[in-house]
Amino acid sequence: MPTAPLEFHVFLPQMRMTMPQLVERATAAEAAGFDGIAGMDHLAPPMAEQQPMFEAMVTNTWLAAHTERLTISTLVLCDAFRHPAVLAREAVTLDHASGGRFELGLGWGSVAHELETFGVGSTEASARVARMKESLEVIEALWSGETVDYAGEFLTLRGARQMPTPLERIPIVIGGTGRRTLELVAAHADWWNLHMGVLDDLDRLDELRARAGRARASLQLNLAYVHDGADRDEVGEQARRRFGPNVVVGTAPELVDHLGHLAERGIERLYAWFCDFAAPETLLAFGQHVIPAFKAA
């Protein structure tokens, strides 16, 4: 039995699905006991550019309107797509509309050619991370409700003020392990998100954590849930065809054991990307057989 608690969020990219299907999965996740749901933010889906995809913040709003308890977020919004004054206003609006259930996940853009294709922002990593630093400073300043004067390399505000302010603090989620990204995590983030590649070197996790400041650690993980009576090899093979080799395949007891080890290493939240596209029956089975082991802790 796990000895450390763990939050569970569904990572559900809003692509290849209709809005009713997204709502169906969000409500199933809520009924199953998940803590939150998060989408992704791209102008075209990576490696699936011809597939249909909905915009992140509008999707967040729609899912917030159809749920009562789930935390709503995006893993993560691309800083270059929105002026921070617009994003600050959107975040506060969703914060009030959802009763404080919105979290702001923000990154500096993981697909450089996407920015070039759509003519948005810079393709230079150093410029993107520098702009995100300014965006975070502007967003937090505007959230204070005070008048803001700001002169940066990318952003300039003169006598800017926004009301209302957040209901409380809107949590900020930042992902990544680079030096400059970790500086932003330490300065601004409530949650520091890691990709499952960090599992290849768990000893490095301790070293990175020391540079992440007060931020709590979360992990994005590709999961293939093996239902009772299902062929484990068949489930694993299908998952690897869809998601590549980095997939955790397991029955409920196996996943409890695997995730328990992660919780013991200090991971406090899991963003589960289910390889069957979060089928409602998978969410409900996971909620019945896996989540209670960590809530009891």
H or E element that contains 105 = strand 104-107
230 CA to centre of own chain: 29
- CATH value at residue 203: 3.20.20.30
Q: pLDDT > 90: what percent of the chain?
A: 80
114 belongs to a structural domain:
yes
For residue 242, being part of any structural domain is answered with yes
- Between residues 275 and 203, which one has the greater pLDDT? 275
**Domain assignment of residue 267, yes or no:** yes
In this prediction, residue 204 carries a pLDDT of 80
Q: What percent of the chain has pLDDT over 70?
A: 98
Q: Is the pLDDT score of 297 beyond 60?
A: no
Buried b (16+ CB within 10 A) or exposed e, 86-120: ebbbbbbebbeebebbbbbbbbbbbbeebbeeeee
Q: Is the pLDDT score of 3 beyond 70? A: no
Taking CA atoms, 183 is separated from 84, 128, 144, 178, in Å, by 19, 14, 22, 9
**Total number of domains in the chain:** 1
- On whether residue 224 sits in a domain, the answer given is yes
Q: Is residue 130 part of a domain?
A: yes
Q: What is the pLDDT of residue 244?
A: 87
Q: What domain range is 117 assigned to? A: 7-295
Residues 6+ apart with CB under 8 A from 124: none
pLDDT in tens, 215-243: 999 999 999 999 999 999 999 999 998 88
Domain membership flag for residue 1: no
